[in-house]
Amino acid sequence: MTQTALEYTDLALDGPDSLARLQQMSRIAASTWRRWCELLKLSPSKATEVWEEICAPLEQVSGQRPNISYFLRLRAARGEVDIQSFKEEVAPIRHMLGFFRMIDDSSVDIDELPSTMLSYYKFALEHTFRRQPFERFVDQWIYDICRVFLVTKLCKSDQVTLSKALRIIADERISLDKMLTSAVKNCGSDELSLNIRAFLSQSTEDCEKKSSQQMIELFRQIVETIYNDEAVHTKGRSQDPMLLEKRRRTLQAFDPQSANLPSPEEAQALSRKNNKKRQDAQTALAA
């Protein structure tokens, strides 16, 4: 039986009871869950895991509904791993998206980034990581996103954004290696350019000698230097001291390897704690 046939069998075996349970837990219509599962060829049991382990805890902690369909699309691309391994990948991906939103950089094209990151995630699973220098797949994915971002900063053009560059690679119009090689050749000879060249040119052997955390620290240093330089030499928003300070704080907090998602139990405990704080505040106001 083919993989596709198996997926449809899983969908049929889970049946309407699973969808009804999802509707009850999430307050989202069973018909919507069925449409998502059918479009993504994702079994309701896997969709239930995504809701219970990822979406529901995030909603409980933040009070806002997360982008459920996005998590389901990621899960559909990574169905072979168990839900806990998947959560370990989703947390850094979510952290990366938050980082690029917060740095407020026109070279990111943030409205397009979630979909292009997803496209590159799928592409990377099939192509990029057959030779994987990092222990975890997601660490290599993070490293390559960082490298492509630095390529866009080297180009210094609003026409070259992170979203567009990732889409070009995912569509196989250019390989990541060719993009990086071209960028390295165009690097200048100043100290910043040399540091960028070193980061982009890391070989598999170089990466194996460094931890993924060391690579992220080097990335933070390079990007902060870029923003400091833009604040001095570039006219416009980059000179805004408040924007520069915001970017520095965002870089200091950038740590995708340590990102995690709350467990259902942690989310419940935090929700109870927050509810108690609100009740205590209301009691104090009423006194």
The confidence score (pLDDT) of residue 208 equals: 53
pTM equals 0.84
DSSP string for the chain: --HHHHHHHHHHHHHHHHHHHHHHHH-S-HHHHHHHHHHHT--HHHHHHHIIIIIHHHHHHHSS---HHHHHHHHHHTTTS-HHHHHHHHHHHHHHHHHHHHHT-TTT-TTTHHHHHHHHHHHHHHTGGGS--SSSHHHHHHHHHHHHHHHHHHHT-TTS-HHHHHHHHHTTSS-HHHHHHHHHHT--SSHHHHHHHHHHT--HHHHHHS-HHHHHHHHHHHHHHHHHHHHHH--SGGG-HHHHHHHHHHHHH--GGG-----HHHHHHHHHHHHHHHHHHHHHHH-
pLDDT of 100-120, one tens digit each?
999 999 899 999 999 999 999
Domain membership flag for residue 72: no
pLDDT of 190-228, one tens digit each?
888 888 888 888 654 555 556 677 888 989 999 999 999
What does the alpha-carbon distance between residue 22 and residue 160 come to, in Å, rounded to a whole number? 42
Structural domains of the chain, count: 1
What domain range includes position 40?
1-67
The confidence score (pLDDT) of residue 285 equals: 72
Domain membership flag for residue 274: no
The confidence score (pLDDT) of residue 76 equals: 95
Domain membership flag for residue 9: yes
pLDDT of 131-171, one tens digit each?
455 667 888 888 899 999 999 998 877 788 999 999 999 99
Domain membership flag for residue 231: no
The confidence score (pLDDT) of residue 132 equals: 54
What does the alpha-carbon distance between residue 121 and residue 191 come to, in Å, rounded to a whole number? 32
pLDDT over 50 (residue 6): no
What is the overall mean pLDDT for the chain?
85
Domain membership flag for residue 213: no
Work out the angle between the directed axes of helices 83-103 and 68-77 (0-180°, nearest 10): 130
The predicted model gives 35-49 an average pLDDT of 95
The predicted model gives 27-38 an average pLDDT of 95
Q: How many CB atoms lie within 10 A of CB 210?
A: 14
Domain membership flag for residue 122: no
Domain membership flag for residue 42: yes
Domain membership flag for residue 210: no
